């Protein structure tokens, strides 16, 4: 072998070793970052640019693989399926903290996981037994119309004030709506009962959409990924989803 | 000729060193094995993984669980909780894990009915969870909707009067005839049964109020029609249908959240049935002769 060939071989071996060291260093660095993310209080991660950048990068990939099929790549609402908008500041459960989102991703909503969120669902008032968990009286077509008018009235869209007034009374008494949605219809993030006074609608806010929600009931599902995703994946995707809402606030 | 090397030769020292090292290695191995065997530390790892708050006999207690407990108990998180708060809750989690492990050692899944019921529910729930993590394609949802379209119809609604003719010699057929000719019920001194006086009702409510037989008659009436006399134990009934709106199938767009729920429920049921078949197939189940 000539001296030149020996030099080339030595240089190539050196480069390969250098490359290997770089790859190992990057791997070690990424591992350390992920470990720091896992050890951190989840609700502080977005405030740390170094950790946030890493978690968002990994979280985006996890989101696209496992969440986008329902929530879409952009995290926008799909009222047909009752898929909430992940990019606004309105949260059905909790207040949009990373830890809350991580818990939902891990245990789900009405997912069959006992640690998931499953305290309540929307009764189907146009049925003989509107609600499985407690006895609630069915409502007549007129009563459902009255309740619909009441909900439309929150955004000034009622077409029959007398019906809206009757609906208000039903809301606070026999229909039992107050039990989940509170007397002032402000909702309850611990049970996932949405606020009814704003113009954000999970299943559509037209007269017919609201009437149908009251008549037929609703019970959206979010799967439990406890056994499908690693702890690191769950943390990173929670950071990513929390940031979707945060990002839209920043843009506003 | 003597082959044994002299006592102070290099060969003898090398042989002795090999023997000592070999014996030391074997002894060390036996000590480690014994330590592992008799102190139940066989699965112990050198460090605690980043996602864990503790390892209890190798079983992780997740930091995420500790954080959740901190939030629900003290309304605080890992970053802001005091050392005492973390310690108190972590001790609780460790205690729980120890008792779970001890319970398994004691065979509680075999003996305790609550543990057994919880395990059955949790295993069924696990199958359900696995089914829910994949979203059915729109084609699958539409196919389901088309096969079960009647299920996604709104409740029909009806507004009607139900009159009872007392057995006092009145002629129900004549009354029906007069009603069909447009006579006002009041002019015929008809008395309501009181069953459907609350105005418009959903079909399910009308069925409850009228009973199955009268409801079947009512359902077949179109708006404005008067039924034939229906003899019932409390007298002869005549139904005057003011408005009958049969169930209207919801469109796929209107019903797709319910369709998705039903498709997933069906998938869960099928998977649970398949899971049970699999468990039975792989199990060695022997049934006493008297019970075969």
ipTM: 0.85
Work out the percent of chain A whose per-residue pLDDT is above 70.
98
Segment B184-211 shows an average pLDDT of 92
CA distances from B172 to A147, B181, B186, B190 (A): 41, 14, 15, 11
Give pairs for A99-102: CB < 8 Å, separation 24+.
Answer: A99/A41, A99/A42, A99/A43, A99/A238, A99/B64, A99/B67, A99/B68, A99/B71, A99/B77, A101/A238, A101/A241, A101/A242, A102/A42, A102/A234, A102/A235, A102/A238, A102/B64
Q: Is B289 exposed, middle or buried (0-12, 13-18, 19+ CB in 10 A)?
A: exposed
**What's the pLDDT at A26?**
92
- Out of B67, B135, B199, name the one closest to residue A142 (CB): B199
Q: What are phi and psi of A208, to 5 degrees?
A: -70, -35
Each residue's pLDDT tens digit, A128-165? 999 998 899 999 999 999 999 999 999 999 999 999 99
- Average per-residue pLDDT for chain A: 93
Tokens of B33: 């094995």
CB A116 within 8 A of CB A107: yes
Residue A47 has pLDDT above 60, yes or no: yes
Residues 53..92 of A with a Cβ closer than 8 Å to B: which? 66, 69-70, 80-82
- Split at pLDDT 50, 70, 90, the class of B128 is confident
Is the per-residue pLDDT at B43 higher than 60?
Answer: no
Confidence grade of residue A251 (pLDDT, cut at 50, 70, 90): low
Task: State residue B15 phi and psi, 5-degree precision.
Answer: -65, -40
| pLDDT score, position A3 | 78
CA pair distance B213, B230, nearest whole angstrom: 9
Residue B5: pLDDT over 70: no
**For the residues A78-87, what does the mean pLDDT come to?**
95
Q: Residue B197, SS3?
A: coil
Minimal C-alpha gap between B51 and chain A (Å): 5
Task: State mean pLDDT over B188-206.
Answer: 93
Under an 8 A CB cutoff, do A99 and B71 touch? yes
Work out the average pLDDT over A227-248. 93
The chain-wide mean pLDDT, for chain B, equals 90
Computed over its alpha carbons, how large is the radius of gyration of chain B?
39
Q: Residue B188 above 90 pLDDT? A: no
Put simply, the answer to whether A141 touches B202 (Cβ < 8 Å) is: yes
Q: What are the C-alpha distances in Å from B267 to residues B131, B133, B140?
A: 7, 11, 12
Q: How far apart are CA A65 and CA B134, in angstroms?
A: 11
Q: Which of B50, B257, B268 sits opposite A39 (nearest CB)?
A: B50
Which spans in A67-134 are helix H? Answer: 68-71, 98-107
Chain B contact present for A111, CB below 8 A: yes
End-to-end Cα distance, chain B: 82
Report, as an integer, the average pLDDT of A207-214: 96
How much is the average pLDDT of B219-237? 94
Closest by Cα among A110, A106, A50 to A235 = A106
A242 or B131, which is more confident?
A: A242
DSSP lists the bridge partners of residue B235 as B232
Minimal-distance CA residue of chain A relative to B255: A80
Task: Give exposure, A78-103, as e/b (b: 16+ Cβ within 10 Å).
Answer: ebbbbbbbbbbebbbbbebbbbbbbb
**Do B154 and A235 lie within an 8 Å CB cutoff?**
no
- Closest by alpha carbon to B132, among A69, A192, A96, A119? A69
* Nearest-by-Cβ selection for B261 from A40, A141, A219: A219
pLDDT category of residue A250 using cuts at 50, 70 and 90: low
Contacts of A31 (CB under 8 A, 6+ apart): none
Mean pLDDT (whole number) for A194-210: 95
CA distance, residue A3 to nearest chain B CA (Å)? 43
Set of chain A residues whose Cβ sits within 8 Å of the Cβ of B204: 126-128, 138
Distance CA A91, CA A85 (A): 9
Identify the pLDDT of residue B56.
95
If you ran DSSP here, which 8-state letter would residue A227 be given? T
DSSP state of B80: T
**How many Å lie between the alpha carbon of A50 and the closest alpha carbon of chain B?**
17
Phi-psi category of residue A176: left, alpha or beta, with phi > 0 → left and psi -120 to 50 → alpha: left
Phi, psi of B54 (to 5 degrees): -165, 160
- Chain A, window 219-238: residues with a beta carbon less than 8 angstroms from a chain B beta carbon: 219-221, 223-228, 231-232, 234-235
* Predicted TM-score (pTM) of this structure: 0.83
Residue B67 pLDDT > 70: yes
Neighbour-count burial of B17, counting CB atoms closer than 10 A to its CB (0-12 exposed, 13-18 middle, 19+ buried): exposed
- Quick one: pLDDT at residue B34? 77
pLDDT at B33: 82
Tell me which residue in B63, B128, B260 faces A39 most closely, judged by beta carbons: B63
**SS3 at position A155:** coil
Which residue has better confidence, B239 or B1? B239
**Does residue B12 have a pLDDT over 90?**
no
Instruction: Give the number of C-alpha atoms closer than 13 A to the C-alpha of residue B115, restricted to the C-beta side.
Output: 12
For residue B45, is pLDDT > 70? no
- A213 contacts A85 by C-beta, under 8 angstroms: no
**Count of A–B CB contacts within 8 Å?**
120
For A35, nearest residue in chain B (alpha carbons): B50
pLDDT band for A248, please (50, 70, 90 cuts): low
pLDDT surpassing 60 at residue A240: yes
By C-alpha distance, which of A223, A222, A206 is closest to A214? A206
What is the pLDDT confidence band of residue B7, given thresholds at 50, 70 and 90?
low
> Which residue of chain B is at minimal alpha-carbon distance from A137?
B205
Q: Is the pLDDT of residue A224 over 70?
A: yes
Q: Is A204 on the interface with B (CB under 8 A)?
A: no
Confidence of residue B131 (pLDDT cuts 50, 70, 90): confident
Interface mutation vs chain A, best among B47, B48, B49, B50, most A CBs within 10 Å? B50
Check residues A27 and A248 and name the one with the higher pLDDT.
A27
Coil, strand or helix at A206 = coil
């Amino acid at each position: 072998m000539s001296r030149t060939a020996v030099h080339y071989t030595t240089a190539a071996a050196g480069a390969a070793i250098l490359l290997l060291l770089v790859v190992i260093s990057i791997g070690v660095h990424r591992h350390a970052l992920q470990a720091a993310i896992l050890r951190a209080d989840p609700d502080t991660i977005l405030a740390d640019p170094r950790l946030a950048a890493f978690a968002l990068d990994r979280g985006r990939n996890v989101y696209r693989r496992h969440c986008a099929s329902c929530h879409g790549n952009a995290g926008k609402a799909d009222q047909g399926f009752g898929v909430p908008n992940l990019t606004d500041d309105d949260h059905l459960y909790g207040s949009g903290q990373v830890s809350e989102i991580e818990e939902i991703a891990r245990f789900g909503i009405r997912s069959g996981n006992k640690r998931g969120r499953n305290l309540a669902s929307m009764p189907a008032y146009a049925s003989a037994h509107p609600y499985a968990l407690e006895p609630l009286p069915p409502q007549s077509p007129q009563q459902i119309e009255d309740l619909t008018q009441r909900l439309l009235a929150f955004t000034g869209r009622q077409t029959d004030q007398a019906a809206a007034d009757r609906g208000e009374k039903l809301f606070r008494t026999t229909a039992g709506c107050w039990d989940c949605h509170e007397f002032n219809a402000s909702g309850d993030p611990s049970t996932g009962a949405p606020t009814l006074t704003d113009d954000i609608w999970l299943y559509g806010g037209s007269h017919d959409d609201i009437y149908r929600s009251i008549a037929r009931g609703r019970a959206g599902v979010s799967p439990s990924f406890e056994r499908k995703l690693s702890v690191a994946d769950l943390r990173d995707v929670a950071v990513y989803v929390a940031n979707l809402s945060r990002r839209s606030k920043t843009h506003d | 000729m003597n082959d044994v090397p002299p006592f102070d030769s290099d060969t003898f020292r090398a042989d002795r060193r090999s023997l000592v090292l070999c014996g030391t290695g074997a002894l060390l191995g036996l000590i480690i094995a014994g330590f592992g065997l008799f102190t139940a530390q066989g699965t112990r790892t050198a460090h605690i993984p980043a996602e864990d708050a503790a390892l209890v006999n190798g079983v992780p207690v997740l930091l995420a669980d500790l954080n959740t407990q901190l939030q629900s108990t003290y309304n605080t998180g890992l970053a802001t909780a005091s050392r005492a708060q973390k310690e108190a809750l972590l001790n609780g989690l460790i205690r729980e894990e120890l008792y779970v492990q001890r319970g398994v050692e004691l065979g509680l899944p075999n003996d305790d009915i609550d543990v057994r019921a919880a395990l059955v529910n949790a295993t069924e729930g696990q199958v359900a969870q696995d089914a829910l993590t994949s979203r059915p394609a729109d084609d699958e949802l539409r196919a389901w909707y088309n096969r079960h379209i009647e299920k996604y119809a709104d409740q029909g609604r009806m507004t009607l009067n139900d009159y009872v003719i007392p057995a006092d010699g009145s002629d129900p057929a004549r009354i029906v005839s007069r009603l069909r000719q447009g006579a006002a019920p009041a002019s015929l001194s008809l008395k309501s049964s009181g069953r459907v006086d609350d105005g418009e009702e959903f079909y399910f409510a009308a069925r409850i109020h009228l009973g199955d037989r009268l409801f079947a008659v009512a359902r077949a009436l179109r708006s404005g029609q008067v039924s034939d006399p229906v003899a019932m134990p409390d007298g002869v009934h005549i139904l005057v249908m003011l408005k009958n709106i049969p169930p209207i199938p919801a469109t796929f767009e209107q019903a797709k959240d319910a369709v998705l729920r039903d498709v997933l429920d069906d998938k869960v049921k099928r998977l649970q049935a398949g899971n049970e078949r699999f468990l039975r197939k792989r199990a060695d189940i022997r049934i006493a002769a008297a019970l075969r």
